[in-house]
Amino acid sequence: MPIYNAPLLAIDPKETRRYAGLMKADTFDENLILEACQDGRLLAEPKGVWELYDYDCDTQTVKADPPFTIIGEKIGKHLACCDKVILLSATVGDAIEEEVTARFDRGEYAASVLLDASATTAVEQIADGMEKAIKPKMAAQGYSMRWRFSPGYGDWPLDQQPELVRTANATAIGVHLSESKMLVPRKSITAIIGLYKEGTGTSPLKKGCASCTQKDCASRKK
Amino acid sequence: MIHIFDGAMGTMLQDAGLAPGACPELMNLDHPEVVEAIHRKYIDAGSTIIETNTFGASSLKLEHYGLADRVEELNLAATAIAKRAAGTRAKVAGSLGPTGRFIEPLGDLSFDEAYDTFHEQAKALAKGGVDYFIIETCIDLQEMRAALLAAKDAAPAIPVICQLTYADDGRTVTGTDPQTAAIVLTAMGASLIGVNCSLGPEELIPIVKTLAENTDLPISAQPNAGMPRLENGETIFPMGPAEFGSWAPKLLTAGATYLGGCCGTTPEHIRALKSALAGQEEPVRPPIPKRLWLTSRTKSVCIDKELPTHLIGERINPTGRKKLAAEIAEGSLLSVKKEALGQVKAGAAVLDVNMGVPGLDPVPAMRRAITEIAQITDAPLSIDTSDAETLEAGLRAYPGRALINSVSAEDERIEKFLPLAKRYGAAILCLPITEDGIPKTIDDRVNAIKTIVTAAKENGLKDGDFLLDALVMTVSADKDATRKVLDTLAAYRRVFGYPSTMGLSNISFGLPNRPLINSTFFAMCLAAGLDAPIMNPYDEAMMRALKASAALLGDDPRGFAFSKDEANLAVPKKAAEQKTTDLPILEAIKQAVIEGEKDTIVPLVVQAINEGYPSDDITNKGLTDAMTIIGEYFGSGRMFLPQVLLSAETMRAAFDKIKELIPAAAKAENGTVVLATVKGDVHDLGKNIVSALMANSGFRVVDLGKDVAPDEVVEAVRREKADICGLAALMTTTMPQIDKTIEALRAKGLSTPVMIGGAAVTRDYAKSCGADHYAGNAVEAVKLAKEICGVA
């Protein structure tokens, strides 16, 4: 059960701006963004965990005990030709979330939304840091990594979240599901990374925003 | 002399029959002849140092195979095999690999557990008689620190080779760059510093160069045979022996005199390497200047008389700060962390950390503070304590090279602090105080420093480990206090050449206008050679003095940075941008709302009321008009949500002021809206935004919060006689609760219009679930609400 709370020395203001839906807002005060990033860093408690499994891409089965069969055509295609997968979970903890709420209650609407965006950025950065740690380990065994994919995107139903939480061993870092299958703490992710051998095929999906159907999302990358 | 390591062991063992998934180290017992044959092949190929087959022979790694209790047996067996194979032809290096786990706070392994694991293995290797320890393939500097300490404790006479593994961005996985690694590991007493694995030889060249520029120790390099790929189920390293060997002279030129191979290399690779190095001259490495370097895990800072001033931030210190002390005593480090980030932002390059709170055990407090501060900033830390145990807790936890604040010429400090400085590779701040107190003369101060430096060097510290404090006294008590400091600075430079520091503010004690005295004194000290003041980086007068001094003393050549600093311009740029004040008052209010100028709105509203405008006019022609324009801007993509929210805050501030001054102005409401995030959904930021904007637009909002059951919604809609019921859900998993809530409303005969929204909610979904309206965003929701209530 590898626990890796990837270092998070700073939260990226550019990504925070994007998650806040401010990509085109050239005049928006950069100081407010920077403040949100600094406050986010102050409150974030970065944590991460991952597990490695064999994977059968024909049946879309993660060979955990008990096995986990992935539902969804797109995710199936994305993991085509992968014979191992990594299940991971990352979180920034509760404190940042509490402050987002407290700010809103105090009428600091914008600061609340910006802190929320910095928390989103932070959790992605933690997952990026984990990938950086995982990559050389996998490369040493001859494996390359597909980009990480989370349920709720494409046609991978969120109903499978319990299986991701289980196989990623997310509870080891305090991430669990609410009754309605939402991740708690809120700013947490679970994801899968397919491992493949070079030259055995590629994912037909477009990476990142391009693969998402939410075309009018304010954070969509051009 | 050029030394040749061996190549890979694991792949050779697999070729010789090691089953996939089996423990490679168990071969030392089950098939010693196989292991010995591999060693012999490498020695025959030219290896002058072979590595024991013990890379994973630590209890934490052997645990995977149920062999955790056989650490000594396996390491002794491996050493015996290697020594037998080596005879007098080669030296034997005892290999120690990483534990596979990360050390706290990056992982769940404690520093002490890691230390114990390495200590146990190193003890066994030493017992077996290895000539070197080689700690290799480490991706985390903190794990390397634990292993190096353990190896040196287990057998102080055996040289330790420390090899980290770097990723293709030139840093280890946990962010350490080779310069920082070289500084930290040299200071901690490594015998050799190097790099292995992960990358091919070409990629290691710049890393080797950087290492060589930052240590006088020999450098080792053991690259992979290129980057691996899988073919027919087998991991292939693409680089053949000839190509591998061809890189050896370049690695040598870069500074590596201990060369070998890692993954994918074979005796043939080593043979090629050896032959490529035949007749090659060892590179001449000029000794590196002995400068004072401090590091965090990921960054190095140099304090030196030839470099611009660096500030040491003094604010993480509860002494005389009741609120901070109380917070620390309660176990919260939030303000401490705030001070850390704030000081770095204000210009501090190093942060002093003092955890002296009366009644609080300083040892765990320091350990935690150092750990947590190091997690959020890359500025190196200074550990400020007078207690040796507290100091050690901080030094142990710190994944870098810290500064010890401070070592005086008093016996106890010298006896207890200096060995810790050496052990953990820390630099020391030297304070010229003796058993007899503060020396009266400059000579006596110099002598006190000499006492410390001499003792420090006896403990193994070197030039580059010292920062000298010029000891500031109060000028109101001693008219010569300033002169003494300036003369001390000059004497330090003349006698020692080490960089200097001081806490400045003591000089002005008892005088009026202390900022003026402090900043003037500061400028004098900078001119006299002060290198790294310990000060409050938020102090504007001091920061101005620093910037002006930098321009005057040439640290800021021709005052370029000084000229660009807005604070120094006759007409601040910002002044030209203030536009709202020149407008007619209602127009100014409107503009302030649109621009989200929360600070200017209240005076504008007060001014409008004083000028006799009725509150209705202020509201309608100022605020409501602004909101209409904002809605248009938002709809056309000229304004974005956070900007709308800033406007909303501004508007709320205006409303609050109007209500405060003219209580009768509390307006009739446009209508009542009951809002809820549905059952099971805890993501309510979107709903909160709708709530805020609705309230600003004259609606009475009854916000039921998140995770609200259908019954509660029904009850509230009935009780409040709602005109609109707004329901939000973020995720596809919680959206069906919208349907259920609408069903419940209708079942109770309530025909209240229902408006829904949320990230995953669509117009189509709204139709299918029986909602009356769909709002794609908060601004749209307000517009719809106005239409529904007929106030548009």
C-alpha distance from B353 to closest chain A C-alpha (Å):
17
- How far A144 CA lies from chain B's nearest CA (Å)? 8
pLDDT digit string (tens) for B701-729?
Answer: 999 999 999 999 999 999 999 999 999 99
Nearest CA in chain A to B237: A142
Question: What average pLDDT is seen over chain A?
Answer: 91
For A35-82, give the DSSP string: HHHHHHHHH---EEEEEEEEEETTTTEE--SS-EEPP-HHHHHHTTTE
Note whether B687 and B728 are within 8 A (CB).
yes
For residue B663, the model assigns a pLDDT of 79
Is the pLDDT confidence value at B180 over 60? yes
A4 touches chain B (CB under 8 A): yes
Contacts of A42 in chain B (CB under 8 A): 334, 337-338, 341, 376
CB nearest to A9's CB, from B108, B376, B734: B376
Report DSSP letters for B752-783, one per residue.
--EEEE-TT--HHHHHHHT-SEE-SSHHHHHH
Query: Residue B685 pLDDT > 90, yes or no?
Result: no
Q: Are B486 and B447 in contact (CB under 8 A)?
A: no
Give the residue on A whose Cα is nearest the Cα of B166: A136
Express each pLDDT in B309-326 by its tens digit: 999 999 999 998 999 999
Output phi, psi for B297, to 5 deg.
-70, -30
Residue B641 has its nearest CB partner, among A42, A161, A218, at A218
Query: A22 to chain B, minimum CA–CA distance in Å?
Result: 6
* Tens-place pLDDT, residues B731-760: 888 889 999 999 999 999 999 999 999 888
For residue A130, the chain B residue with the least C-alpha distance is B173
- Cα separation, B203 vs B178, in Å, equals 13
**Chain B CB within 8 Å of residue A180 CB:** yes
Are residues B228 and A104, on separate chains, in Cβ contact within 8 Å? no
- Among residues 118-147 of chain A, which lie with CB inside 8 Å of chain B? 132-133, 135-136, 139-143
Which stretch of B94-103, B141-150, B156-165, B568-577 has the lowest confidence by average pLDDT?
A: B568-577
Residues B443-470: pLDDT tens digits?
Answer: 999 999 999 999 999 999 999 999 999 9
* Mean residue pLDDT across chain B: 93
Which of B371, B638, B682 is the best mutation test for A, with the most CBs of A within 10 A? B682
User: What number of residues does chain B have?
Assistant: 792
Which residues, at least 6 apart from A105, have a Cβ–Cβ distance to it below 8 Å? none
State the pLDDT confidence band at B233, using cuts at 50, 70 and 90. Answer: low
> What are the chain A neighbours of B263 within 8 Å (beta carbons)?
140
In this prediction, does ipTM exceed 0.90? no
**DSSP class of B26:** G
Measured between CA atoms, how close is B483 to chain A, in angstroms?
Answer: 42
- Chain B's closest residue to A10, CA to CA, is B376
Across the interface, whether the CB atoms of B681 and A108 are under 8 A apart is answered: no
Cα B303-B545-B308 angle, rounded to 5 deg: 20
Q: Above 90 in pLDDT, residue A97?
A: yes
Tens digits of residue pLDDT in B296-308 = 999 999 999 999 9
Place B573 in a pLDDT band, splitting at 50, 70 and 90.
low
Q: What share of chain B has pLDDT > 70, as a percent?
A: 97
The Cβ of residue B665 has, within 10 Å, a number of other Cβ atoms equal to 16
In chain A, residues with a C-beta closer than 8 Å to the C-beta of B375 are: 7-8, 46
In this prediction, residue B571 has a pLDDT band, given cuts at 50, 70 and 90, of low
- The kind and range of the H/E element at B122 are helix B111-128
Mean pLDDT to the nearest integer, B10-14: 91
Does A28 contact B640 at a Cβ distance shorter than 8 Å?
yes
Q: Residue A184's pLDDT band (boundaries 50, 70, 90)?
A: very high
Helical (H) or strand (E) element with B373: helix B362-376
Using left for φ > 0, alpha for ψ between -120 and 50, and beta otherwise, residue B323 falls in alpha
Backbone dihedral region for residue A107 (phi beyond 0: left; psi -120 to 50: alpha; all else: beta): left
Q: What pLDDT, on a 0 to 100 scale, did the predictor assign at position B684?
A: 86
A37 contacts in chain B (CB < 8 Å): none
Question: Dihedral (C-alpha) B645, B650, B656, B657: value to the nearest 10 degrees?
Answer: 180
Secondary structure of residue B376 in the 3-state scheme: helix
Pick from A22, A139, A142: CB nearest B640: A22
Which region, left, alpha or beta, applies to residue A72 given φ > 0 means left and ψ of -120 to 50 means alpha?
left
CB atoms near residue B788 (< 10 Å)? 19
**Which residues of chain A from 50 to 79 reach within 8 Å of chain B, CB to CB?**
none
Q: Which helix (H) or strand (E) holds B186?
A: helix B178-187
Contact A25 B227 (CB under 8 A): no
Task: Identify all chain A residues contacting B596, using CB atoms and an 8 Å cutoff.
Answer: 110
- Cα dist. B375→A126, A218, B227, B387, B627 in Å? 13, 32, 32, 24, 43
What pLDDT shows up at residue B559?
87
DSSP string across B123-181:
HHHHHHT-SEEEEEEE--HHHHHHHHHHHHHH-TTS-EEEEE---TTSS-TT---HHHH
Query: Are B128 and B79 in contact, with CB atoms under 8 Å apart?
Result: yes
Give the list of residues 6+ apart from residue B235 with CB closer than 8 angstroms, or none.
A140, A141, A142, B11, B228, B229, B264
pLDDT tens digit string along B574-601? 554 555 557 889 999 999 999 999 889 9
Distance CA B379, CA B401 (A): 11
User: How many Å apart are CA A18 and CA B286, to the nearest integer?
Assistant: 49
Cβ of B642 within 8 Å of Cβ of A25? The answer is: yes
- A92-to-A13, A111, A173, A189, B144 alpha-carbon distances in Å: 17, 18, 10, 10, 27
pLDDT value for B576 = 46
Q: What pLDDT, on the 0 to 100 scale, is given for residue B271?
A: 98
The distance of B284 to chain A (nearest Cα, Å) reads: 34
In chain B, what are the domains?
A: 3-277 (3.20.20.330), 310-562 (3.20.20.20), 578-665 (1.10.1240.10), 671-788 (3.40.50.280)
Residues of A in contact with B101 (CB under 8 A): 2-3
Q: Which two tokens stand for residue B708?
A: 């609200």
Tokens of B6: 């061996």
Annotation: CATH topology of A13-200: NADH Oxidase (3.40.109)
| Domain assignments of chain A as residue spans, ordered by start | 13-200
Chain B hits for A114, Cβ within 8 Å: 642
Return the pLDDT at B198: 81
Helix intervals (H) in chain A:
13-19, 30-43, 73-78, 95-105, 109-139, 161-168
Q: How far is A147 from chain B (nearest CA, A)?
A: 18
Contacts of range B25-31, beta carbons closer than 8 Å, 24 or more positions apart: B25/B53, B25/B54, B25/B55, B25/B56, B25/B57, B25/B62, B25/B67, B25/B74, B25/B78, B26/B65, B26/B67, B26/B74, B27/B53, B28/B53, B28/B54, B28/B57, B28/B74, B28/B77, B28/B78, B28/B81, B29/B73, B29/B74, B29/B77
Do B382 and B296 meet the contact criterion of CB atoms below 8 Å apart?
Answer: no
Q: How is residue B564 written in tokens?
A: 């660009």
Size of interface A-B (CB pairs under 8 A): 160
Which of B229, B334, B732 is opposite residue A42, by nearest beta carbon?
A: B334
Phi, psi of A6 (to 5 degrees): -55, 140
pLDDT of residue B581: 59
Check CB contact of B174 with chain A, cutoff 8 Å.
Answer: yes
Residue of A nearest to B651 (CA): A107
Mean pLDDT score, A55-72: 95
CB contact under 8 A, B692 and A135: no
User: For residue B337, which residues of chain A lie inside 8 Å, CB to CB?
Assistant: 42
Interface with chain B: mutation pick from A128, A180, A200, A214, highest number of B CBs within 10 Å: A180
The sheet with strand B671-677 has its strands ordered as B699-703, B671-677, B724-728, B754-757, B773-774
Task: Report how far residue B36's alpha carbon sits from residue B51's, in angstroms, rounded to the nearest whole number.
Answer: 11
Residues 181-210 of A with CB under 8 A from B: 181-182, 184, 186, 197-199
| Radius of gyration, CA atoms only, chain A | 18
Token pair for B771: 């909602």
What share of residues in chain A are helix, strand, coil (percent, to 5)?
A: 40, 20, 40
Res B632 pLDDT > 60:
yes
Ranges assigned E (strand) in B486-537:
500-501, 534-535
Chain segment B16-27, per-residue pLDDT in tens: 999 988 999 999
Q: What are phi and psi of B99, to 5 degrees?
A: -75, -15
What are the CA-CA distances from residue B592 to residues B535, B610, B623 (Å)? 39, 18, 9
pLDDT-based confidence at residue B572 (cuts at 50, 70, 90):
low
Q: What is the Cα–Cα distance from A109 to A115, expressed in whole angstroms?
A: 10
pTM of the model as a whole: 0.89
The chain A residue lying nearest B641, using CA atoms, is: A21
pLDDT value of position A222: 65
With a CB-CB cutoff of 8 Å, which residues 394-453 of chain B face chain A?
none
Adjacent-strand bridge partners of B703: B675
